[in-house]
Structure formats: structure tokens, C-alpha cells
Structure 1
Amino acid sequence: MGILYLVGTPIGNLADITYRAVNILRSVDMIACEDTRVTKKLCTHYEIHAPLKSYHDHNKEQQTEYLIQQLNEDVNIALVSDAGLPLISDPGHELVVAARAKGIRVETVPGPNAGLTALMASGLPSFTYTFLGFLPRKEKAKYTLLEQRMFEDSTLIIYESPHRVKDTLKTVQKIDAQRYVSLGRELTKKFEQIVTEDVDTLLLKLDKEEIPTKGEFVIVIEGAVADEDTSWFEDMSINEHVEYYVNQNMKPKAAIKQVAEERRMKTSEVYDIYHNV
């Protein structure tokens, strides 16, 4: 049987590729890639002559079967994405599952990753993080997911297109306008930009085009910071906790949101309990 290599490729700067990755790409019989035009540039730069085979979300069912057949016939194949690590918010999962089911050897050849590159330079906590990849496009689904995740004690890493980055930040703003967020764009390229501010400030910078909406974005969101002293409400029921803030002239909606943040719960859960839904 052949070997399936999962090869990391540069996320911007073509020099960010390992010696091993170049050697593997030069030695395999075939390279499966998202966009042959993108991978062709890399191959030309490093004098890699293996034939390219298109493998993307729209043809993966048919191509998975074909590639498994080739691997069974002792053909060595490298799988790459347009940038970064294959399978990480990119196609390849079905191929790896099928290969493992057939007993085909799968080897990883590590390389750059946009999410971790942005996290390293963000200045936000990096010991515990959650990779969310691309968020749902519909606002309601996006809000629901972020509302749940933003109150966990974990830095969030998100991929976003330049066309939707403002909308996603506005969703973050609705949940917590003071939360610190880092925007990374054009990572490892000449015009790399990584800006970490509260979300209100970032939206202003985007509006003023101090942060151009060009290139793919990585959004890194600071995790929730637990209140150091939670003992004062530990003996309270959720209703009593909400009423505590209402009695301080806070509107019920704001009080529910505050309680959800302090207890690291979904706002909808606190709402349902408070209103007996």
C-alpha cells in the first residue's frame, strides 16, 4: 500500500515550510490539493513536479474513493490545503477516516497554522484555548454559539473572511463590548497586522480603515475572567441573584446577563429559570 502524507504548507510567506515537507512533496507520486492553481505556485517555487489532483468540499466524496484506490495500488499521496494544515477547517477528514479504515498508513508532516500564529502574537492568554474555526453565517446561530463560548475560561480562536469580520465583531460587542479581542490579518506576509484592543476600539479602527478589510482574518477572543470572590452569591438561588441586581435599579434583562456572566451560564438558561419558562 501507499502512504498518505498530511503536509503543512505556508500560510503566507513561502519560506515557512520545513525541509521535510519539501522532500515529501518532491518524492510522492501525487499531491491532492484544494486549489491546483494555489498549490502550483508553491510547487513551482520549490521545483516540485508531482502531478496535482483537485480535492475539495465539492468533489471529496468522489475523489476520496479514487485516492483510496490509488493508495491501495502503492501510490504515495500528499494531501495539502491552500494554506496551513490540512483538515484544520479544511477538507481531508473523510479521506483520513477512509484510509485508516483500510489500514493505510497515514503520516503527518507538521507546518504553520494561522490560528496559533495569531494567538502567539495576540498578547491574550494562550495556555487554554478553543479553536472554533469558521462560525455559522446566520446571525442567530453565530450569537448563540459565541454567547455560550465567550463565558468559558478559554481563549477563542476563529477564522473569518474580510467580508464578515465587522459583523462578527458586532456580535461579540452585543455579548460583551469590553472584551479584549485580537485581529490578525495577512499573517507572515509583508503587510501582516495584529491588533489587540477592546472590541469597541477594533470596530472604530475598521470603520476608519486603520485595519483594512483585506486578507483572511483570525479573530482571537479573550476568555471569561472569573470573579475572584464568588462567595457572596454562592448561597443565593438564581432568582435571588437576579433580584439582587434588579433591586439596585438594574433592568431585568441586564441583571440576567450579569448573573449569566458571573455564573458562567448561558443568558438564555438564566432567563428561563428567572421567568419560569
Structure 2
Amino acid sequence: MVITAATRVLAGAGVASPRVDAELLTAHVLGVSRSRLLTAPPPDAAQCAEIDRLVAARRTRIPLQHLTGTAPFYGHEFEVGPGVFVPRFETELLVEWALQHVPGEKTRIVDLCGGSGAIAVAVAQQQSEVYCVEQSPAALRWLRRNVARLAPDVRVVEGDATDPAVLRGLDGTVDLVLSNPPYVPEGAPVDVEVAVHDPHDAVFAGADGLALMPGLVGRATDLLRPGGWLGIEHDDTQGASLPELIRATGRFDAVTDHRDLAGRPRFVTGRRMAD
């Protein structure tokens, strides 16, 4: 009954997945996984009151992950909240591609625009050396907490991901550069949760969403060794424009755009050519 009532409230508020959110909030309060709800004891009065409070907050479109305090990503639970972009399932496709391109020997990886640290933590392997670059002070607080808890060997770097001075000592030595940067065009329609609660600078990037891309591609070009790989997530309107931007540098071959499970352009990859 609690979940049914919560689902009704969230559906009326326009939440995209009301039943799932109602179950996840209930599971959070009960301290069980969503899959254990059927066998969990019913909530007591205090737990019902807490579920009602969280549902009322979710009804105002506060992100589910801000209410539970965590976001799942590639088998990990990341701490998230105001000031940091909540990692999305779609980005796991970039991680899966990246792990297929990790050389057998010790690998050096750079994650530009690291946010919560989701990509950096997910690709960290026993034989890898991973650097995660982030500029936002608010995001850095979440990034450092996640790295300390989940992958303490990841090296957090505070700085502008497009600045040639950042990680200059690694130029020409990196095997993989990955990025999930701001890429949504200004004015594009987005969910209330994104428009109000995700950091604006972590989502939007100019009229076409490509404002940061030349700087990111330029920085990746310098960081990568010949034969190293670049992977950048992008907006579904940029499936042609971003690959063309990368090809136009004359520094990458095998430039390929990849689609997500819904068939939408999602991320682009390319291999650094020798100078």
C-alpha cells in the first residue's frame, strides 16, 4: 500500500518512473535492496513517515539520487548531491568501450571533466594509472570522497580540463583519454531534475553544445601517445559534428561514432596518429 500510494503521488507530479522511484525510496528507508522489498517486513510508523517525507520531496522533482545520497554506476555506488552531476547509465557504454581498449601492460588513463569520479573509478584497474581532472570546487568535494572510498589510487587533479598546463608532464604518454563533458546546447529541453538541480556548467556548453570540445580535443591530442585512444560522450545532436571536429584536427584516425541502446548517437572515439 505504501508503494502504491507513493507511485500515485509521483505519477501525478510527472516523475518519469514513478513506480521505480517509489520502490527505491522505500528500499532506502528500509535499508534493503529493491529486489528484497517483497520479503522485507512492512515499514513501521516512523519509516512510513520518512517515506512520505522523501516522496513529498521527490514530488517537487528533487533528484532521486539526492534523496538517497547515492547513484549506481558500473557496479559502484557513488555519493552524489547538490553541486555534482549525477552519473547516468548511458555513460557505462563509454566505460565498456574503454575497458576493451586497455592494453595488457600498465595503462595510463586520463578522465577530463571528472565530476563525481564515475568514469575514473570504473576504469581503474590493478595495472592502471588513472588521473581525474575536475575544476568545480563543489564537484571536487564529491569526487574526492568517491575516490577515497572506491579507488584510492586514482589521482585527483584540480584544474581546467582544457588548460595545456594541466598534466603537462604526461604529454605524449597517455593510453586513453576519456571525457563526459558538458555538451547540451543552451535552451535545449531537459528534465526538471537536470534544469534545476544538476550544475548548469556541468550540463550546458554554448548554443550548439560544442563550446568545450575544441579545447578538450586539443588537450587530448597532446596527452595521448601515438596509437592512444580518445573517447568523448556527446549530445544526440552531435553524432556528425563532433566526429568531424576531431577528424578536422588531422591528428586522429579510426574516428567512429557509437550509438546507445536506444539507437541515438552517444559517444565518439578516435585513435591518435603519429606526428
Q: TM-score range with shorter-chain normalisation?
A: under 0.3
Which of the pair has more CA radius of gyration? 1
Q: Please report the TM-score for the alignment, with normalisation by the length of structure 1.
A: 0.26
